[in-house]
A and B are shown apart, each in its own frame.
Chain A
Amino acid sequence: MATEEKTLILVCQNSDCKLKGSEEIMVRLQEAFADNEGIEVCPYMCFGTCERAPNIVIYPQRQWYSDVDASDLPEIVEALQNGSRVERICDQVDEGARDFIYTLLDVGIY
């Protein structure tokens, strides 16, 4: 497990995600959780699902948000605080790709 105590919000910062606003998304999430020591918002190298950019993965909860728009962020933040998920944009990408990335995260590759 990458971390026992913290929730990681990994925001892809590769080219396609950046082109579609992932830098702003990461900044806004960092602001939203600035006072929450249990949540860390980090850049991620690339999830390999660029066709559904921007991508965000919440770990260890294993929530994969794709095609994220800045307008989705309040819902994502609220869901995370409530221990739920935003179903309409969650786990829309290929299951094999998701499992593969979770395997990397399990051994600390992020």
Chain B
Amino acid sequence: MNLLLPTKKRNGREGLQDYRNRKGYEGWRLARDQEPGKTVQAIVDSGLRGRGGAAFPAGRKWQLLSQKATKTRFLVVNGGEDEPGSFKDRYLMEHYPHLVLEGAFIAAFALDVGQIFLYVNESFDASQRSLKEALEELATSGLLDGLEIKLDFFSAPQDYVAGEDTAALEVLEGKPPIPRKKPPYPVESGYQGCPTVVHNVETLANVPLIVREGPESYRNIGTPDSPGTMLFYLNEEFEHPGVYELPFGTPLRYLVEVLGGGLKGGKGIKAILPGGPSTAFLPGELLDVGLEPKALVEAGSILGCGNVRLIPEEACMVEVTLEIAEFFARESCGKCPQCSMETNAFVTILKKIQAGEGDSAMLEQIENVANFSRGKGDCGLIHMAAAPVLSAVQHFPADFEAHLEGRGCP
């Protein structure tokens, strides 16, 4: 079931008229005509969760911002999408820019925000072009008449941490993308120390629908804990790669087998990486887990940003895990000592295991490194780097043993 996207996929950008033909900007019209507090309450009641990975209740951010006495407030539309292999935000911005913009304008109006930042990955040329064209259409449509909200584009660096909300704020202030220590959270002290809401692109794309159809209607889809739908991305390793919209709670099997057609060549599945490289591996047989934050946590991982990857049966988990560990060591910004130590230690340990130089005592140190680092660091990267390594050791010990015994990849 699609809530955000039309059933028939399109190749180009959805223009203003096509968008209005499917009730586009009706939510915006309603939001302008009603008390802002009513719009905020609708988002709270909808149970909308952030789609960037943390699944934080969006309404909670709105409530906190609404309570601020400071009238200089900002909204950041986070289109950094630096998670490797993630494609959904880019897909929305490229093909459905009005959906994103309507959500942003509703949020800005309801929260009395004076300035919106469109923070878009510097490599997403088509997304930037599409959003700019959509804004040009809006400018002559009369839909924004009388509105005093400034909107600025900002190119987001391609560094992994640049998509983190406080790192984005640093970039907007002209500084390198280095995450800030939290608290204070951006709603307390964000851009230039002012209350700021940072929302992922997909999160905002849900806002028009909630305002237009009402939160009760929205809650009829998905699960009680996570209402609505989410966009999932299947990469080129699938028979049918692409972006798919599904209600929360849909079994993973439906996404990867029915929609995705399974892995190319009918390969079997060894492991599941449910939400990008920062999530824990699950054994391949857990295909019936529901695509929903709570269910994934109970299974031992997280939903993340919906970038589903399957590891084929012939893959060696030491190799796959080392590749991810090297990514995090490379992308750690270097601000927090424990993160530098942890990410580099994982690479060193995994390389030694890969080369058959280690023993079981070395393997045990993976957990010690993760425990030593847990709870430290200013952002989530320190935790993200540990999840795939710990889960690989837990679920696929035979692969590690093969290397430790000098037999190489299983």
B266 contacts which chain A residues (CB < 8 A)?
Answer: none
Bound Cα distance A81, B368 (Å) = 34
B192 within 8 A of A: no
Q: In the complex, what's the smallest C-beta–C-beta distance from A21 to chain B, in angstroms?
A: 16
Bound Cα distance A16, B348 (Å) = 19
Q: Are A109 and B352 interface neighbours, CB within 8 A?
A: yes
A104 within 8 A of B: yes
Q: In the complex, what's the smallest C-beta–C-beta distance from A8 to chain B, in angstroms?
A: 14
Given the interface pairs A14-B334, A15-B334, A45-B347, the reply to whether A108 lies near B352 with Cβ below 8 Å is: yes
B341 contacts which chain A residues (CB < 8 A)?
Answer: 14, 45-48
Q: Which residue of B lies closest to A100 (CB)?
A: B372
Bound Cα distance A46, B329 (Å) = 11
Q: In the complex, what's the smallest C-beta–C-beta distance from A70 to chain B, in angstroms?
A: 22
Q: In the complex, what's the smallest C-beta–C-beta distance from B266 to chain A, in angstroms?
A: 40
Q: In the complex, what's the smallest C-beta–C-beta distance from B355 to chain A, in angstroms?
A: 12
Q: Can you list, as one digit per residue, whether each of B315-355 has a CB less than 8 Å from chain A (1) or not (0)?
A: 00000000000000000001001101110110111001000
Given the interface pairs A46-B340, A104-B345, A110-B348, the reply to whether A16 lies near B334 with Cβ below 8 Å is: yes
Given the interface pairs A48-B337, A48-B338, A108-B358, the reply to whether A14 lies near B365 with Cβ below 8 Å is: no
Q: Are B337 and A46 interface neighbours, CB within 8 A?
A: yes
Bound Cα distance A50, B336 (Å) = 8
| B365: contacting residue among A46, A50, A104, CB under 8 A | A104
Bound Cα distance A16, B372 (Å) = 20
Given the interface pairs A107-B365, A108-B362, the reply to whether A49 lies near B337 with Cβ below 8 Å is: yes
B285 within 8 A of A: no
Bound Cα distance A47, B338 (Å) = 8
A49 contacts which chain B residues (CB < 8 A)?
Answer: 337
Bound Cα distance A16, B347 (Å) = 19
Bound Cα distance A44, B344 (Å) = 9
B340 contacts which chain A residues (CB < 8 A)?
Answer: 14-16, 46, 48, 50
Given the interface pairs A107-B361, A107-B362, A109-B365, the reply to whether A50 lies near B337 with Cβ below 8 Å is: yes
A3 within 8 A of B: no
A51 contacts which chain B residues (CB < 8 A)?
Answer: 337
Q: Can you list, as one digit per residue, whether each of A43-87 has a CB less than 8 Å from chain B (1) or not (0)?
A: 001111111000000000000000000000000000000000000
A92 within 8 A of B: no
A15 contacts which chain B residues (CB < 8 A)?
Answer: 334, 340
Q: In the complex, what's the smallest C-beta–C-beta distance from A31 to chain B, in angstroms?
A: 26
B357 within 8 A of A: yes
Bound Cα distance A71, B208 (Å) = 65
Q: In the complex, what's the smallest C-beta–C-beta distance from A83 to chain B, in angstroms?
A: 29
Q: Which residue of A lies closest to B334 (CB)?
A: A15
Q: In the complex, what's the smallest C-beta–C-beta distance from A32 to chain B, in angstroms?
A: 26
A46 contacts which chain B residues (CB < 8 A)?
Answer: 337, 340-341, 344-345
Bound Cα distance A110, B348 (Å) = 7
Q: In the complex, what's the smallest C-beta–C-beta distance from A56 to chain B, in angstroms?
A: 15
A16 contacts which chain B residues (CB < 8 A)?
Answer: 334, 337, 340
B359 within 8 A of A: yes
Q: In the complex, what's the smallest C-beta–C-beta distance from A44 to chain B, in angstroms?
A: 9
Q: Which residue of A lies closest to B343 (CB)?
A: A46
B361 contacts which chain A residues (CB < 8 A)?
Answer: 107
Q: Are A45 and B359 interface neighbours, CB within 8 A?
A: no
Q: Which residue of B lies closest to A47 (CB)?
A: B341
Bound Cα distance A14, B365 (Å) = 20
Bound Cα distance A15, B340 (Å) = 9
In chain A, positions 9-53 with a C-beta closer than 8 Å to chain B are 14-16, 45-51
Bound Cα distance A110, B341 (Å) = 11
Q: Are B365 and A45 interface neighbours, CB within 8 A?
A: no
Bound Cα distance A48, B359 (Å) = 24
Q: In the complex, what's the smallest C-beta–C-beta distance from B35 to chain A, in angstroms?
A: 50
A100 contacts which chain B residues (CB < 8 A)?
Answer: 368, 372
Q: Which residue of B lies closest to A51 (CB)?
A: B337
Bound Cα distance A16, B352 (Å) = 25
**Interface pairs (13), CB distance under 8 Å:** A14-B334, A16-B340, A45-B344, A45-B347, A46-B341, A103-B368, A104-B368, A107-B359, A108-B352, A108-B362, A109-B349, A109-B352, A109-B362
User: What are the nearest 9 A-B pairs in CB distance?
Assistant: A48-B341, A45-B344, A50-B337, A15-B334, A46-B340, A107-B361, A46-B341, A48-B337, A46-B344
